[in-house]
Structure 1
Amino acid sequence: MLTARRRGVAAAVVLAGSLLMASCGGSDGGSSGSRTLRLWHYEGPDSAMGQAWAEAVREFERTHPGVTVEFEEKGFEQIQKTAPMVLNSSDAPDLMEYNKGNATAGLLSKQGLLTDLTPEAAKRGWDEKLSAGVRATSLYDEDGVMGSGAWYGVPNYAEYTLVFYNKDLFREHGVAEPETFADFTAALDAFVDAGITPLANAGAEYMAQQYLYQLALSRADRSWVDAYELYRGRTDFHDAAWTYGAETFADWVEKGYIGKTSSGTKAEDAGVSFVRGKAPVLFSGSWWYGRFRAEADFDWGTFLWPGTDLTLGSGGNLWVVPEGAENKELAYDFIDITLSERIQNLLGNKGGVPVAADADAVTDPRSRQLIADFDTLSRRDGLAFYPDWPVPGFYDVLVSETQKLITGTAEPDDVLTALQEAYDKGVPKR
């Protein structure tokens, strides 16, 4: 989701020093001196992934003398909207970060725009390094539905949503860290009573729909998730879980937990409001962890959403190799490096959730807690993917409909009807 999540509509920029001289192993065969590995991703340079991948580029440089790495940072929204067109042209990169799920990587795989990585996954041991829960988003069948079939992407980190909270503000207002859902809403009430809107929110991007989905998940189970995300059963948006989610979200707006002015704000705005100490609580993904550690000058902590076993999460966004890439072997080599123990350990210590690290090598206390909570979710099969994944175009529908809940221009029942119609149109006939 999405990832994070970094979903800006920023124009593509080439980072300072984007033409990085890397070393060359010559795995593509032939002369290597004039080759370039074109790499796109949308992780900020201060994020855990951005820092780990920058080190991976340096490692690539050491092991591949003579190859130039041309790195372009893209906005999430930009890649989301233009990937089908770009990947069907001569401008396709050799390696690209892309969102996982039926509506994104699954759709591109179905359209023949991504390289089938199954042989490389077996040859290079990626299938053994990644747990079943993490690699589920790597596999897509002939209909582009995740969970089975061929490998069309490789995640090298995991992600999940959790509650970030400002410990200083909690102490200042005499609010204890919540242990139950009732404690959580009592804390939100306490901040509203103090004249503070407690929840950072971004109605113009992914964050609002994550609140909606999490509330629904608190009344759901694994079979509900599988029906919605994997089409293993019928999804009814007027069932008890979705109804609770929409009605509670609207109620939280009325109670002042979520600001009515947040309908037009973006994820960056929400993140900044937390970093600046204005919002005491932000519910979003682990992808914010490294940035908050770098920028927040107050005491803060995290906890899993109380009162439920399920939360949004999965393996991280995917490395995908476009079918038209010119230097596929170099792309595979780079993926290998990002899955190496050294890069995975670095990712963990920078605040990411590694998938192949040495647990003893992660020494940062907050990072260890982040990883421990992910392990807790994994053990209880608690990763419920993301709400925008099931069908193409659903992300924009969710943004539009949750905005209506924030502004009060539609009733929850009407919003759920609109979601049902959009979902049903996109579900493939199987």
Structure 2
Amino acid sequence: MKSIRKIASMAVLGAATFAYAGTALAQTELDFWSWRQEDVKAYNEIIAAFEEQNPDIKVTFTAHEATSYNTILTTALAGGAGPDIMHTRSYGSLEAIAAPGYLEPLDGQIDLSALSADELLGTTLRADGHVYAVPFASQTIVVFYNKDLFEEHDVALPETWDEFLAASQKFKDAGVIPLANGLADAWTMEIMSGAFLPNFYGKDFFGEVTSGATDFEDERFVNALEKFSTLKEFMPQGYEGVDYATMKQLFNVGQAAMFVGGSFDIPTFVNAGVNFDIMPGPAAEAGGPRMVATWLDGGYGVNAASENKEAALKFIQFTATQPFAQMLTDKLANVPAVDGAEISDPMLAKVSAMHEEATPYIMLVAFRFNTPTGSTLLQNGLQELFTGKKSAEEVAADISEGIKSAE
């Protein structure tokens, strides 16, 4: 009898142990979509830290091609599918998926106290005032420069527009491409314009054009376009066909002295081993401000149709914390939106310091809510300007008319 009881007891214990093990191993699986293909390794490391504290949740990070990401994501969400959690873009791009009800409102469900009102503005739907994503980082437009080439050719770092043109001419005369940037990818022209236009149209223009006190045919904006267009003399031969990948390669291998891009490009050049540094765009004149254009890059949102909403919200709460912000800056060289992270990377600290003279990245922040977007109008206009198809006045008129007619 003892033997039978012992065997029965062991069987019960074994069943209980198996049941417990099954419970311990059960995981809620979350899909996380993004456009950040270059950040897969870092995000997997960040996710691993979350999973260590939350062993009942498994997060799979999938990075799609950046330019097609919005279409892929919107198509999936419209079909009632898509990921549980997702990288969202900000401002108008966020509204495109928040307004139809594809995103879960986060205010009241997530502690957003470590984020500023300005940052939350980029992930807030104007129609209802709710926050639909946790902001993740700001981006800043800077001028990257090759320190070795500047030293080799004895070129002083330019502070003013005239000095920038003189430095570019000196490189060109020496057979070095002054600016790696090209026209093929229209969005990179908008990025490039963010380093130069603000210092010509000035600090007050953004507020005036967004309030309706002026428009893009304003003399300040036309003048800024005219000045900017002169840089085509210092871009690569055949610049009309130079795309983003080629620009970066020209800078990586030392064929180009400068590259205008976003702070998001820093890891690319670090990983390539380029001896580079960064500076803001040049002042319009001596003693003038050297403003940098900044914007909220995007956020982390939850699919309103997710069957795993509780676990998804738990991950999103993690993205609104200081430990997450610290990993974001340490692993991805971003200036995090969440307060409390210490920026130890000297290059990133420089970017953060430049924010003392910051201005909004104008079209993304204020004019990407309707169709045609301000970005589309500016990008198309800059391509026409730099290829000589239209004058600065014509481009400015097209932008102004397009924005006024946008729906």
- How high is the TM-score relative to the length of structure 2? 0.82
- Which structure has greater helix proportion? 2
Letter of the structure 1 residue corresponding to residue 94 of structure 2: A
2:322 is matched with which residue?
A: 341
- Once residues 163 and 315 of structure 2 are traced to their aligned partners in structure 1, the CA distance between those partners, rounded to angstroms, is 46
1:185 is matched with which residue?
A: 165
Letter of the structure 1 residue corresponding to residue 319 of structure 2: T
Are the aligned partners of 1:167 and 1:299 in contact in 2 as well (CA < 8 Å)? yes
**Per-residue displacement from partner, 1:159-205 (whole Å, max 9, x unpaired)?**
11111110101111110122333322221121122233311214223
Q: Displacement of 1:292 after TM fit?
A: 1.2
**Per-residue displacement from partner, 1:31-76 (whole Å, max 9, x unpaired)?**
993632110112234x5xx554322210222123243323211122
1:257 is matched with which residue?
A: 234
Assess, with a 3 A threshold, how the Cα gap between structure 1 residues 318 and 363 changes in structure 2: closer, same or farther: closer
280, 283, 287: which is aligned to 1:304?
Answer: 280
Give ranges in structure 1 of 5+ residues lacking alignment. 1-29, 144-148
Q: Displacement of 1:234 after TM fit?
A: 4.8
299, 303, 312: which is aligned to 1:322?
Answer: 303
Are the aligned partners of 2:177 and 2:234 in contact in 1 as well (CA < 8 Å)? yes
Q: Secondary structure at the match of 1:408?
A: coil
User: Does 1:33 pair with 2:26?
Assistant: yes
Are the aligned partners of 2:158 and 2:167 in contact in 1 as well (CA < 8 Å)? yes
- Once residues 210 and 363 of structure 1 are traced to their aligned partners in structure 2, the CA distance between those partners, rounded to angstroms, is 26
Are the aligned partners of 1:173 and 1:191 in contact in 2 as well (CA < 8 Å)? yes
1:137 is matched with which residue?
A: 122
Give ranges in structure 2 of 5+ residues lacking alignment. 1-22, 284-288
- Once residues 119 and 54 of structure 2 are traced to their aligned partners in structure 1, the CA distance between those partners, rounded to angstroms, is 29
- Once residues 223 and 407 of structure 1 are traced to their aligned partners in structure 2, the CA distance between those partners, rounded to angstroms, is 30
Q: Displacement of 1:138 after TM fit?
A: 2.1
2:10 is matched with which residue?
A: none
Assess, with a 3 A threshold, how the Cα gap between structure 1 residues 276 and 75 changes in structure 2: closer, same or farther: same
Q: Secondary structure at the match of 1:72?
A: strand
Letter of the structure 2 residue corresponding to residue 261 of structure 1: G
Letter of the structure 2 residue corresponding to residue 304 of structure 1: P
- Once residues 81 and 396 of structure 1 are traced to their aligned partners in structure 2, the CA distance between those partners, rounded to angstroms, is 16
Report the identity percentage. 24
- How high is the TM-score relative to the length of structure 1? 0.78
- Once residues 376 and 123 of structure 2 are traced to their aligned partners in structure 1, the CA distance between those partners, rounded to angstroms, is 23
Assess, with a 3 A threshold, how the Cα gap between structure 1 residues 132 and 67 changes in structure 2: closer, same or farther: closer
Assess, with a 3 A threshold, how the Cα gap between structure 1 residues 357 and 132 changes in structure 2: closer, same or farther: closer
- Rg: which structure is higher? 2
Are the aligned partners of 1:304 and 1:373 in contact in 2 as well (CA < 8 Å)? yes
- Once residues 103 and 343 of structure 2 are traced to their aligned partners in structure 1, the CA distance between those partners, rounded to angstroms, is 34
Q: Displacement of 1:221 after TM fit?
A: 4.3
Q: Displacement of 1:233 after TM fit?
A: 1.8
Q: Displacement of 1:388 after TM fit?
A: 4.2
Assess, with a 3 A threshold, how the Cα gap between structure 1 residues 205 and 168 changes in structure 2: closer, same or farther: same
Letter of the structure 2 residue corresponding to residue 134 of structure 1: E
Q: Displacement of 1:85 after TM fit?
A: 2.5
Q: Secondary structure at the match of 2:108?
A: helix
Assess, with a 3 A threshold, how the Cα gap between structure 1 residues 383 and 332 changes in structure 2: closer, same or farther: farther
Deviation >4 Å, runs of 4+:
none
